[in-house]
Structure 1
Amino acid sequence: MTEQNLNTALNLGEIELVDFRIFGLQGDQPYEGIYGINVSKVQEIIMMPEIFECPTNLDYILGVFDLRSTIIPLIDLSKWLGIVEDESRVSEKVVVITEFSGVKMGFVVHAAKRIRRIDWGDVEPAAFSSHSTPSKDKVTGTTKIDGDKMMLILDLESILNDLELHAYKAPKPPKEKHQIKQFDGIAMFVDDSKSARMIIKRTLLKMGFKVVEAVDGKDGLAKLEMLYEQYQDKLGQNLRLIVSDVEMPKMDGYHFFSKIQEDPRFCQIPVLFNSSICDDYSAQKALDLGVKGYLVKFDPDRFIDEIAKILG
């Protein structure tokens, strides 16, 4: 499929974000924080529910609530981001219900505005000083809206590590070392989330791969060029697999995949998508376009099994 047809099929050049606000204070000065979450991760927006206590030492977990017989943790997003609320401007809070990486959560925000369609070319990686709030690890990208206002796109995946929400799922016995099939060669992975890269790298190393990592699609293409300079026509014998996220600034996973498919040097290298977006539509579209697999972050056993199936 050509890049033009690929973009037409999936609007690959754009991302849709739910625009919501948090009213905070910097010193004694009020400001309105503008944040975005991929609409694919948002199920609905509700008024504040009845909250039940949940034992925790994390002050940003307000408790849990019952949403149509599903118990969901409720996170105060301003506290998680380290923002001091401007109580004088907060009249009525709302809850953004999300599902990503197979986990449902509710985030308390001060206002939900609209859905915005943003060109991926207008999204830049987060770049903050070490003293910035929120920290860079909690923001995956930035973009301008309404002229000169800055929207921060949140890296909600990092909250899974903070909250250790894997504990909400029934644990699986880990694979013994001798059960993990070993591979030679290189695996490249592309992901803008620092926390996701750490987990993926650790798993690929356990499988015997040498690893090359990239932070977005453009960086991934640059790393592929470097590998080609090193291995030339033997690249396919050395680079066994590419694992890519879908949501990334500068160049998203679908666009990255289309560039690989167009290049005869790289098109035979199998690509596995590893995304926190867990809707069936996204997964099926990816498979229809030719990726070898679509996984929802992050089940290490399934990740290992899928790679073993792809590589044989």
Structure 2
Amino acid sequence: MAGLLDNVNQRTQLVGKNRLELLLFHLRSRQKFGINVFKVKEVLLCPPLSSLPESEAVVRGVAHIRGETISIIDLGFAIGLPPMKEENLSSSFVIITEYNRRTQGFLVNSVDRIANLNWEEVAPPPEGAGKDVYLTAVTKIEDQLVEIIDVEKVLADVTPLREDVDESIVAKGSETDRSDSLPILVVDDSMIARRQVERCLNAVGMSVITMNDGRQALDYLNTLTADGSRATDHIAMMISDVEMPEMDGYTLVSRCKESPQLNDLYAMLHTSLSGVFNGNMVKKVGADDFMAKFSPDELAERVMTILDQA
């Protein structure tokens, strides 16, 4: 266990083509859950927690870690399991993560190990799971089902991000008539993230087409251009998450840039991997831009600038 904890931070610096590393952990049962190592800053035994008045019940308190005050969220409780018992806190673990430009800790019962696999081995949640399910994907490791939690949905429920675009930016967007503009393709496996981006772009007069993962998006683009046309005849630009089942954003962009029909489509990577993001990988796959999630004002202004310069 000590070796696992010591090496987590180093391994967050690794990015492989269509590969991911999952930190596996347990909540209240033998069921294994996973979180992408690239979003993990540190794993440690649960430190002493200070109460946070008027906070959500799932926030068990705050901890002072390496000079920073961090909210500690009971992850099991956040996804509908019973809250962790007070007497179990000292033997539990906290996974310190960075999502959407914010640092927070997730309280879990135990940490298992790191598993290395290919995104093609990861599938979306099964149909019929419901729109409120806290899963973004599932996979099998050694014949055991591993559920990958939609952390963005958890955080949206616990500490919601501002999703509305500032009125001044909306007014700026209304100065240009975009009623005849081509739609923007948004690719993200998180329902919450898709909703946030779509709402943001709709606010400044842009239409949006959404896809759930890179494979689905690439198939869609290839279908559009099967008649010999180019992607830019149909789509204004593509905004893609990096972490997605079936095919990640790196691979999606790389495949687009290799295709004569798709290679001039403007591709922005839009990801919550803000703290450990590998800029060299963006250049390697040929992405045109990168933005850390999620600032509605910044995203709206950046997209308007890109389209106005096209």
Which of 179, 185, 188 is 2:182 aligned to?
185
Alignment partner of 2:31: what SS? strand
- 2:91 aligns to what SS in structure 1? coil
Task: Give the direction of change, closer, same or farther, for the CA distance of 1:175–1:265 in structure 2 (3 Å limit).
Answer: same
| 2:196 equivalent in structure 1 | 199
Q: Match of 1:218?
A: 215
Instruction: Answer whether contact 2:94 2:105 (CA < 8 A) is retained.
Output: yes
Q: Is the alpha carbon distance of 1:96 and 1:86 closer, same or farther for their aligned partners in structure 2, counting shifts above 3 Å? A: closer
Tell me how far apart the structure 2 counterparts of residues 305 and 298 of structure 1 sit (CA, whole Å).
13
In structure 2, the partner of 1:175 is 168
Q: CA deviation at 1:13?
A: 2.8
Q: Count the aligned residue pairs.
A: 288
Query: Is the Cα–Cα contact under 8 Å of residues 268 and 289 in structure 2 kept in the other structure?
Result: yes
Contact 1:78–1:109 (CA<8 Å) still a contact in 2? yes
CA offset digits 1:169-209 (Å, max 9, x no partner) = xx996534222364421111110000000111112222322
Structure 2 gap segments, 5+ residues each: 1-13
Alignment partners' CA distance in 2, 1:189 and 1:284: 23
Task: Report the TM-score, using the length of structure 2 for normalisation.
Answer: 0.84
C-alpha displacement of 1:232: 5.3
Query: In 2 relative to 1, CA 57–85 (structure 1 residues): closer, same or farther, beyond 3 Å?
Result: closer
Partner of 1:12: 17
CA distance in 2, matches of 1:234, 1:243: 17
Q: So what's the TM-score if we normalise by structure 1?
A: 0.83
The equivalent position to 2:224 in structure 1, one of 223, 227, 230, is 227
Alignment of 1:96-111 (within 5 A): 96-111=95-110
Residues 28-177 of structure 1: matches in 2 within 5 Å? Answer: 32-56=30-54, 58-84=56-82, 92-127=91-126, 129-130=128-129, 137-146=133-142, 148-166=143-161, 174-177=167-170
* Deviation readout 1:238-291 (Å, 9 max, x if unpaired): 411011000000111111112111211111010001101113542342134321
Structure with more of its chain in strand, by fraction: 1
Q: Residue type of the partner of 1:20? A: F
Q: Which residue identity is paired with 2:198?
A: K
Amino acid of the structure 1 residue aligned with 2:99:
F
Cα separation, 1, equivalents of 2:291 and 2:158 = 22
Change over 3 Å in CA distance of 1:61–1:141 after alignment to 2:
same
Moved more, 256-265 or 49-58: 49-58
**Residues of 1 paired with 2:298 and 2:280: CA distance?**
18
CA contact (8 A) 1:124 1:141 kept: yes
Q: Kindly report the root-mean-square deviation, in angstroms, between the aligned alpha carbons of the 2 structures.
A: 2.7
Find the aligned partners of 2:262 and 2:82 in 1 and give their Cα distance: 48
Does the CA contact (< 8 Å) of 2:79 and 2:134 recur in 1?
yes
Distance in 1, Cα, partners of 2:234 & 2:25: 45
Where 2:95 maps in the other structure, the secondary structure is: strand
Asked if structure 2 preserves the Cα contact closer than 8 Å seen for 1:127 and 1:136, the reply is no
